Structure 1
Amino acid sequence: MLKAYKYRLVPNRAQREYFAKTFGSVRFLYNQMLADRKAHYELYKHDKKLLYAIKLRTYTSFKQEFPFLREPDNLALANAKLDLDAAYQTFYKHGAGFPVFKSKHHSKASYKTNNQKGSIRILNNRIKLPKIGFVKFKHHRKFNGLIKSCTVSMTPSGNYYISVLVEQDGVPWIPAPHKIGIDLGLTDFAITTNDAGFSEKIANPKHLEKAEKKLKRAQQRLSRKKEGSKNRGKARKVVAKKHEEIANQRKDFLHKLSHKIVHENQVIVLETLSSKNMMQNRRLAKAIASVSWSEFTRQLEYKALWLGRTIIKADRWYPSSQICSACGDKGSKKPLGIRTWTCIPCGTDHDRDINASRNLLSLTL
């Protein structure tokens, strides 16, 4: 099983300079190879035989033309080439967007390198990386297994992180006692009901909304700074730190909640939501983007895979909030504004969201 562990790096000045050069070299090589592919296609697109017969330049050939590419780790450049290949495959096979050029100011600053015969290893609170040696890092989580690769990245706020990919044995399977149905919302982030009949509403922490006032002030200060000035650079970093703080709070909440649910339940039923379509509603777009339903679902899925849990996704058109969980009567359509209702055939009073979670739970039976 492959598992990634993310840590905070604490590089010194020389190491920060090396990282900056490597980020730039990887970005430059990616753009050069993308431009080379586009030019190759334009030149031979009318002759399919030549288009596939004439090979593209290898990433190593660019080192002769651009000597500065010899400074960073060679595997970082090799992985840039693989990233471009993967982008093309995703475009052709899965209909994603065509690969675009990386920007110095808008693309993520990162590079990936591989472990070859112990070129990456951990010693106490330091991690050894190719061509740079040992770098201090916050070693807050231990692991057992073989390090396969690692990805070094820098956030817009200037913080450095390393994600270490480890090959390790799977976790011993221990069955969980419950099954659970989860209805997702905006006022309450999640409404759950398990097979013991316990229902719970988990409040939406609204990290963005709570920090919006301070974020707005920071953005206003940034807009008043002169373009290219040092003060503008400082103000930009303040805004970036605010955004990073909000993102970290959101991730912390989602990880803790998904961890709890996966460890307590053997079968988890989720409703299928199309966030992209729902964000067409301008009044709700920001709230839907902030609540991160898709990220929560993603976390549940991979954590369930680790622990041998079962994830069931309800059909997209399954009317979980319209059906009476007591007698199964659908009745008339209930608009979104109706939060409580009484089933006419059986007389059961329903909370709309709890009723939906109960209906989702019934899909496990």
Structure 2
Amino acid sequence: MSATLVIKVGTSSLTNPETGQLALATIAALVEVICQLRQQGHPVVLVSSGAVGVGCTRLRLGERPRKVALKQAVAAVGQGRLMRIYDDFFSSLQQPIAQVLLTRGDLCDRNRYINASNTFQELFNLGVVPIVNENDTIAVDELKFGDNDTLSALVAGLVEADWLFLLTDVDRLYSADPRTQPDAQPITHVANLEELAQVQAGTQSRWGTGGMATKIIAAEIATGAGIRTVITQGKTASNITRILAGEEIGTQFSPQEQPINARKRWIAHALIPSGMLCLDAGAAQAIIQSGKSLLAAGIVTTQGDFNSQASVQICDVEGREIARGLVNYSSAELQQIQGKRSDEIPNILGYAGAETVIHRDNLVVTAVNPSA
């Protein structure tokens, strides 16, 4: 039985950590495994970092650039070279590939999100392996994914994947960074993300931008979509086939038994909130426990400047995010009606607006443990 797989490989796995030079043997092994998976009938997406790192090497830069414009220029140099290398390796095994460059804006817009989903499905139908990266050359800070771990989790949800593999420079998740703390304990299985509350996130490498914290966030996004997620050693690509065969390698995150639907995943993770609504204790409890619609009476404060249908964070009285949703009123309107009963809204605004501030169909609980 075929399974849709998303494989994310980081810069730390693709390159030599000291020189930044591409680790060609690692890339070749990864390509070979992906081609084997394709021959077995599995649709595969490869989310690949490395464009900036390859560009730095090509231009003989001593360190990763910090200036945005320079980083984007270096990414433009590196992306073409990286794809050429992939194309050479995949072509040697007669496997067609496609380059897919995304920005957060591509997923924030609902029509573009659906178009992207359709494109991936057509590539799968054609037997093509899509190779995905963030479009670093044109992305602006407010529309960046921040790291390819998050991008890979969002792509996994977009293509309704069965597995997300996060390949990194350690063999699994540990209770602390094993490179600096030899007594760190391995974590082989995570059934509940709250178990990781005390885990110390690993540091990022010289050439990469991610860390273990971003992989845990990616696992939260993916498992919420019903996708089994694995963190494992990137230098040993054969681990992927062994894990699919049932071996307990790396750290595996169990998918949620009742994943949220595609639209709510889009609201929860693809959209960038434009503001924040803080609720009283009763309203917050009703949303966390029952996912009920949000009424104006439960809102204590409104923050940010946004229009109707914008994405907002929903927080409890202590400022902790409990949900996200699409509002039926602008921030200016909400500042007038917050704390008011629904039957008072027409007199305050001068017209009969929506009864709910956020309807439950457009609201997603994001608290890790909603039953708490």
TM-score by length of 1: 0.32
> Which structure features the higher share of helix residues?
1
* TM-score (ref. length: structure 2): 0.31
Q: Which has the larger radius of gyration?
A: 1
